[in-house]
Chain A
């Protein structure tokens, strides 16, 4: 089928992109000043100790050979050891990735569930007060830096109102740890622990909202303009002439054809989402991969940096693949022609 070929082509391109990404990051990580061995050992270490560690890390070899070793390791699913935590990078990422995944999924959920209806409302009452209100909110949420919003929410909900916790993922010394999936909300349901679910939700809310605001604003704006575009199409006028009720026309005949642009933008937004997650995780002390990534970058922990970047890259590619699939589901033209328009 055309659509399968289209998806397969996307997968192959994505693999190519990932190879490119790994090369660029590999070179940049080594090109920036600062010696990882020296930073790991501290200022008191002797020159011999540093040289020793450099040799152990393979940093004395030509960069092409280093990259070759990295690729061999990657092929075996081994990302090496972290200088910072002195544990295998695989383990570090496994422990932190789930927290980031949960945060990002909640963010996407909030952004879509709030952003799309806002866009529909704005389009339906175009140029009237609901539209103006939505546009104002959308602009503000899209331009407010996530760290600023994060701090604001922390102050408001945490210190002033005392309604939501401001740091961490679960209360300290809480007798529940995510197991199967690593997602608190999912695992608590599996384990039949409603209290853990609620606690997890309380802790998740503020970071997810801070992270979601920008994407939600984008979703609302794109959905609005897309809906307005579709509303002037002949087929909408036709459904009016055939007496299809207003709400069916808006929520079915208009919304579904309007849904492709917001979906596509969501895929692109995803990159900045991961970037912003770095900051939001730091502010909320969220034990995620992004926070881990920042610490390792500052430490020039080369193996860990490569690991984080590669995992983010694969994550990005997978999300966009899912979005391509969804676009195909929403719009049969993509499925049938195998491309967009």
Chain B
């Protein structure tokens, strides 16, 4: 699958703190073909967030360093291309939906201000230009696309004036501003109540399908995986331990760790799962 939109090849990342080097990712490989919905699942500390940050260029280096591997986007390696070129892609063609709606919006600027600032500099990187008015137009348009009932009012609001669900939608709108082809979602809605999270996931799925976007969903929740993806990578301790089409993975997990993860999903029916989580490798 080397013709994938995003292809992480054999990525290894290590962190150096106080003179000690700790490998965190050991040769992670994953593919996100165009228009596909891929999930990357794993518990806290499994390396899924470091993988995501490597892709988005958000790792703080130092302390982090990429010891080997490549991240191909559209066939071009993000790690070796000039910084300018890379900045043209991140935040525009490949964009990110942040996890926590309560803390991912700047509390002291209005939604309109934050969104049009993002758009302004995205345009500038791509050599486009838009007037202040056109930018505002686009902001309202995207807010309406994430099913916001009163885009004007939302745009004028400060984050504190919006509910968690609305803020999460603003975060999705931010990612959609520059019409990306790849959306990386970092556990959106985990900070929300279950009902709102379900709505958010539904919205995200609809948007991705309507536009034919590729989606990389990063989560620890297999319920979310089942809802939103066709293909899954399971990560554990910095290694991809299993990959399979979603349905297959749920039907017949090959690795004990995956089985433990599946058993950890709460069910509405049946007996409580046995204490198999303990058996995870």
Chain A interfacial positions (CB closer than 8 Å to B): 233-235, 237-245, 248, 252-253, 256-257, 330-333, 336-337
Contacts and interface: CB of A to CB of B under 8 A. Distances in A.
Nearest to A329: B108
B109 to A, nearest CB: 7
B242 interface: no
A234 B100 contact: yes
Contacts of B98: 234, 238, 241
A332 B96 contact: no
Given A234-B100, A235-B105, A244 B117 contact: yes
Interface stretch (B25-33, B86-94, B139-147, B204-212): B86-94
B198 interface: no
B160 A242 contact: no
Given A241-B91, A244-B118, A253-B106, 14 more contacts: A235-B107, A237-B58, A238-B96, A238-B104, A238-B105, A238-B174, A241-B96, A242-B96, A242-B121, A243-B87, A243-B90, A332-B158, A333-B158, A336-B161
Contact of A241 (B58, B100, B114): B58
A240 B103 CA distance: 14
7 contacts: A238-B104, A238-B174, A239-B118, A241-B91, A243-B87, A244-B118, A257-B108
Contacts of A245: 121
A242 B104 contact: no
Contacts of A331: 107-108
Contacts of B117: 244, 248, 252
B92 to A, nearest CB: 7
Contacts of B122: 242-243
The 10 closest A-B pairs by CB, nearest first: A243-B91, A234-B103, A242-B91, A332-B158, A242-B118, A235-B106, A234-B104, A238-B104, A241-B96, A257-B108
Q: In the complex, which of the residues A235, A243, A245, A253 has the most CB atoms of chain B within 10 Å of its own CB atom?
A: A243
A214 B122 CA distance: 42
Given A234-B98, A332-B160, A333-B160, A241 B90 contact: yes
B181 interface: no
B9 interface: no
Nearest to A243: B91
Nearest to B161: A336
B125 interface: yes
B64 to A, nearest CB: 14
A238 B107 CA distance: 13
A241 B94 CA distance: 10
B91 A256 contact: no
